[in-house]
Amino acid sequence: MRKGFSLITAIIIMMAVSLLMTMMISLSSSTVKTTTDMYLKEQAQLLARSATEYALLAISGHDNTKNCIKNINISYPNSTTVTHEMNISILYMGRGISNCGSHLLENNVTTDDSNLTAIIDVIVSVRADTTGITEPIRIHRRTIQKP
């Protein structure tokens, strides 16, 4: 009778320990996933700011009287192993800008301070196939800038 009772007690203790181990592994894997998602989201936000600065640099170095820059696409960190994709679209307001088509919002700007103003939309998407994320991460940043 005592041997049977100790066998049942040993099985119950082993089941309790295995349940605790399963819970610890589950919690550990969810913590790793949350940390990875937070890291990729913060990286995407920083890349959105950098892409805005890059668009301003591209606009300021471009002759807008001939044509204008409408879209810029950037792959991060390089074109072979892409983790983040940045799509930049630029809308313009101001005099002396030509060949912009629908990207020119207003050309009747009366003050020189408002001439050549750009509305820059940056969308940063994290690619799931190279990062292994399960929920999509997408950051949108819109700024009005004077190049």
The alpha helices in 2-140, defined as continuous H runs, are: 2-60, 128-131
Residue 108 has pLDDT above 90, yes or no: no
More confident residue, 101 or 22: 22
More confident residue, 109 or 58: 58
Supply the pLDDT for residue 123: 96
Residue 121 binned pLDDT confidence (cut-offs 50, 70, 90): very high
Residue 42 has pLDDT above 90, yes or no: yes
The pLDDT of 79-96, averaged and rounded, is 87
Q: What pTM did the predictor assign?
A: 0.74
* 71-85 confidence digits (pLDDT tens): 999 999 888 888 899
Supply the pLDDT for residue 114: 66
119 and 26 in contact (C-beta within 8 Å)? no
Mean pLDDT of the chain: 85
Query: What are the extents of the domains in the chain?
Result: 2-145
- How many CA atoms does the CB half-sphere of 53 hold within 13 Å? 6
Residue type, 76: Y
81 and 110 in contact (C-beta within 8 Å)? no
